[in-house]
């Protein structure tokens, strides 16, 4: 996903979190997990699932007479994309200061984190064939 992230409302956030936890869900199960504790009707939870699908954040398929949904984006990917957008988008990473600050923050956390970053970069380079 390279386009910018759509805005999510609190119910959409909660429903997406439910999909991450459950793996997949139908409207009734999502309503029991997310809607019922908030006093929200199944139709409203179903609308949130549909919005997540239209925004590209949930996949859906028909099973019998109802749709089932699963998250189309992982929790970590969503968090990373939010941080990237907050920093000014992918183009901002080209700014020497931002990238250096990111690496400095990783280096300050621990050596293992910096080594994981190096392995990820090596794997991405291999994947791209460069």
Q: What is the pLDDT along the chain (130 residues), one digit of tens a residue?
A: 456 789 999 999 999 999 999 999 999 999 999 999 999 999 999 999 999 999 999 999 999 999 999 999 999 999 988 888 888 877 777 777 777 887 888 888 888 888 888 999 899 999 998 6
List, in sequence order, every beta strand (DSSP E) within the chain.
25-26, 58-63, 66-71
Q: Tell me the two tokens of residue 73.
A: 């984006």
pLDDT given at position 3: 67
Q: Containing H/E element for 67?
A: strand 66-71
Q: Is the pTM of this model over 0.85?
A: no
């Amino acid at each position: 996903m390279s386009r910018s992230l759509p805005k999510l409302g609190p119910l959409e956030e909660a429903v997406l979190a439910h999909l991450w936890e459950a793996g997949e869900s139908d409207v009734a199960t999502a309503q029991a997990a997310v809607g019922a504790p908030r006093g929200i009707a199944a139709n409203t939870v179903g609308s949130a699932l549909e919005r997540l699908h239209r925004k590209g954040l949930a996949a859906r398929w028909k099973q019998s007479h109802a749709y089932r949904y699963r998250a189309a984006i992982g929790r970590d990917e969503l968090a990373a994309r939010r941080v990237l957008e907050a920093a000014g988008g992918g183009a901002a990473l080209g700014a020497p200061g931002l990238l250096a600050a990111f690496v400095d923050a990783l280096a300050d956390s621990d050596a293992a984190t910096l080594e994981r970053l190096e392995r990820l970069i090596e794997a991405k380079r291999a994947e791209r064939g460069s």
